[in-house]
Amino acid sequence: MRTFQVRAGGGLITSAERPVPSPSAGEVLVRVKASSLNARDLLIVTGRYSVDVPPGRIPLSDGAGVVEAVGDGVSRFRVGDRVAGTFHPTWLYGPFPEWGQLRGTHRDGWLTEYIVLDEQSAVAVPDHLTFEEAATLPCAALTAWSAVSGVGPGDALLVQGSGGVSVFALQLARLAGARVLATTSSDAKARRLSALGASDVVDYTSTPEWGVRVRALTGGGAERVVEIGGAGTLSQSIDAVAHGGQIALVGNLAAGDGMDVNRFFRRAATLRSISVGSRGDFERMNKAIAQNRLRPVIDRVFPFDQAPEAFSHFAKGPRFGKVVISH
């Protein structure tokens, strides 16, 4: 089978041939139909991730496909089922356990024609989604689902930018009945965020004090801020969050000094760190996506042969939503 793998020295990816794996007891063989990129994957293939990734590792944590064979004792899936993998392969339910062996870092990922999964680390995907759409769910959508959880009608939620997690957070918070505000860096993206249901969009490049602006627009701050920038944006998020609200700490895309602890105390807000979500969360999210026929926002789909170009496109920007590879 054809795969792409991490090059030595952090130089993106190179193609390779490997034997098709066979499923052991409790495992399923999946013919991969699509995969998708996350910020983490770019760090991995450029040698900048916090975990050492050996050359030869097949990248990508996220993908979807069709079950082509099942090992002994498999009961969750049958041949022909449409499935996606979970980001945390061993986190099934309950609170976040220890970090496990993740795909794309500790074990091979989805940028390949076939993958073997423990049946416990796969979920069925909503019928109305294409494989390209389903491949966007495991990390970005589920992270957004976790970051948005608990928000409802009467709440205001702020998303930062128009990347994979933020666009899903906007869509899911709108489903939950919340008002959504967004920041972004261009008029064209602002229009697209408004079309998806954002009530207000603030350009964070021309309005560096966007936290104050969000506070004014919401009459006291957003009950939830989905924090994408991390150290470089937390200070504005503290201005943007309502008294007693919550900052869901997702990313660290923006370099900076971190937060002013005294100002944070005065907000009486909570900072909650997010680590994607469990399989149970994924299944519940898929129900919500199916019931509401939500469609993921895809920036661009690249054919499998052009996987290196997909990474270059992801690295360059500008983009809106998810970058997908069709296998």
Is 88 one of the binding residues for ligand NAP (CB under 6 A)?
no
Alpha helices, H only, 102-223: 131-134, 142-148, 164-175, 187-195, 210-218
Asked whether 288 and 312 are in contact (CB, 8 A), the reply is no
Taking Cα atoms as reference points, which of 181, 176, 182 lies closest to residue 154? Answer: 176
Is 92 one of the binding residues for ligand NAP (CB under 6 A)?
no
Q: Choose which of 35, 105, 160, 218 interacts with ligand NAP (CB under 6 A).
A: 160
Taking Cα atoms as reference points, which of 280, 310, 273 lies closest to residue 123? Answer: 280
Q: Choose which of 46, 252, 292, 326 interacts with ligand NAP (CB under 6 A).
A: 252
Shortest reach from residue 221's CB to ligand NAP, in Å = 17
Q: Which two tokens stand for residue 164?
A: 């994979």
Asked whether 54 and 65 are in contact (CB, 8 A), the reply is no
Shortest reach from residue 119's CB to ligand NAP, in Å = 24
Residues in contact with 108: Cβ distance below 8 Å, sequence separation at least 6, in sequence order? 3, 57, 58, 115
Nearer to ligand NAP, 218 or 235 (CB): 235
Asked whether 250 and 276 are in contact (CB, 8 A), the reply is no
Nearer to ligand NAP, 138 or 245 (CB): 138
173 φψ region: left (φ > 0), alpha (ψ -120 to 50), beta (else) = alpha
Nearer to ligand NAP, 119 or 160 (CB): 160
Shortest reach from residue 183's CB to ligand NAP, in Å = 5
Q: Which two tokens stand for residue 121?
A: 């680390």
Nearer to ligand NAP, 23 or 229 (CB): 229
Nearer to ligand NAP, 125 or 139 (CB): 139
Distances (CA, A) of 278 to 22, 85, 205: 26, 11, 35
Tell me which residue has its CB nearest to ligand NAP. Answer: 163
Question: Which residues from 19-78 bind ligand NAP, rule CB under 6 A?
Answer: 38-40
Amino acid at 251: G
Angstrom distance (rounded) from CA 64 to CA 327: 10
One character per residue 123-152, x = contact with ligand NAP (rule: CB under 6 A): ----------------xx--x---------
Question: Which residues from 276-305 bind ligand NAP, rule CB under 6 A?
Answer: 276
Stretch that binds ligand NAP, among 7-15, 128-136, 247-255, 260-268 (CB under 6 A): 247-255
Residues forming contacts to ligand NAP in the complex (CB under 6 A) are 38-40, 139-140, 143, 160-166, 183-185, 189, 204, 228-229, 232-233, 250-254, 274-276, 317-318
